[in-house]
Amino acid sequence: MLAETTMKQARQPAKPKRTDVISEAIKEYIAQHQLKPGDRLPQEQELIQALDASKGTVREALKGLEAQGLVQTRTGPGGGAFISEVSDDRAMTLLGNYFFFHSPTIHDIYEARKALWPALVRSLEGVLDTDAFDRLASVMTFYDHPPTSLEEEREQRLKELEFHLVLIDYCPNPLLALMCRFPVRLLMNMTVCQRIYAQPNPELRRQGYDYQRQLLEALRKGDIELGCKIVSEHMQMAQTLMEAREAMLEKTFFKAGNDGAIDSNRDYLALTGYTQAKQLAEQNGDSNSLK
């Protein structure tokens, strides 16, 4: 009987926290009243009365919304809780938290890019104006020449990725833009990618620049199908070179790891032997022999 009751309780959904309920109510209020970034929420005392909640509960709910990037709290005269637009950086951070324990691989990222980038190019048909083309061309000037140092090479690689972020800025589909922006941010920030960018890789820069130059020309001419073909080839090339570099790094670290493992095992055995000897000495009443 007890087991049956326990199983029924386990099947029942957990009761939501009061602060979560209030947070959802405030979000519903924002949507129903069509509030825009910069608009002010009702005063704290009004929220307390309307929601029949304590001051602490309301403040905790607002802090939760602030952590999500939906609300900004200002203090002092004229202060209060104001609607805030979630920035790209904030959205990327929240997505990054989702993948914190399940980080995508370079292979995963480029498989996604190969599927998404032709759609991105198609979405730009008739959208790019003179200012957009000027922005893209300006970014390319950072890597239209061989680097003079490893630091410059790393900066060039980040600028190559920035080229794609500029394209994404003009994508009229917000969902597609978000889906495209996140893989680029991963390539900018992932540790394994940072290690790759710290090594000379002239082929990646040269081919990347050439593909981007061809893409820019196709977009200027309005040849979307050619643009899709170019980005597909570009993504495949980048994937091949990045995965090859990743494999080289893994081989290097594997060798270093093996050497480290041998030393670690020796240290572990020495420590274990010392501990066992100390325990034996203490049992024999000779605790000073190991000091």
| pLDDT band for position 52 (cuts 50, 70, 90) | confident
Q: Does the residue 274 lie in any domain?
A: no
Same domain? For 119 and 176 the reply is yes
In this structure, what CATH number is given to the domain that contains residue 36? 1.10.10.10
* Local structure of 144: helix, strand or coil: coil
**Domain extent for 39:** 30-86
Q: Residue range 191-208: average pLDDT?
A: 92
* Whether 103 and 243 share a structural domain: yes
Supply 157's token pair. 């690689």
Residue 9 located in a structural domain: no
Mean pLDDT for 141-165 is 95
Q: Are residues 101 and 237 in the same domain?
A: yes
- Separation CA 185–CA 162 (nearest Å): 9
43 and 102 co-located in one domain? no
Whether 37 and 177 share a structural domain: no
Residue 133 sits in the same domain as residue 56? no
pLDDT of residue 80: 86
Distance CA 143, CA 146 (A): 7
The helix/strand/coil state of 72 is: strand
- Rounded to an integer, the average pLDDT of 247-253 is 76
State how far the Cα of 282 lies from the Cα of 173, in Å rounded to an integer.
Answer: 73
* 149 token code pair: 């140092």
Residue whose C-alpha is closest to residue 104's, from 246, 229, 251, 257? 246
Within-domain flag for 181 = yes
3-state SS, residue 83: strand
CATH code, domain with 169: 1.20.120.530
DSSP state of 40: B
pLDDT per residue as tens digits for the range 91-148: 788 778 888 888 899 999 999 999 999 999 999 999 999 999 999 999 999 999 999 9
Residues 235 and 98 in one domain: yes
Task: Give pLDDT tens digits for 1-49.
Answer: 555 555 555 566 677 888 888 889 988 888 898 989 888 999 888 888 8
Task: Mark which of 86, 101, 121 sits at the end of a domain.
Answer: 86
* 111 shares its domain with 76: no
| Average predicted confidence (pLDDT) for the chain | 85
Does 19 fall in a domain?
no
59 and 152 in a single domain? The answer is: no
Provide the number of structural domains found in the chain.
2
Task: Give CA–CA dist 79/47, Å, rounded.
Answer: 15
pLDDT value at residue 159: 97
272 lies in some domain: no
Are 58 and 127 found together in one domain?
A: no
Query: Is 277 a residue whose pLDDT tops 70?
Result: no
**25 domain residue, yes or no:** no
171 conformational bin, left if phi > 0, alpha if psi -120 to 50, beta if neither: beta
pLDDT score for 262: 41
The answer as to whether 155 is a domain residue is yes
Q: Does residue 172 sit in the same domain as residue 217?
A: yes
Banded model confidence at residue 268, pLDDT cuts 50, 70, 90: very low
> Does residue 130 lie in a domain region?
yes
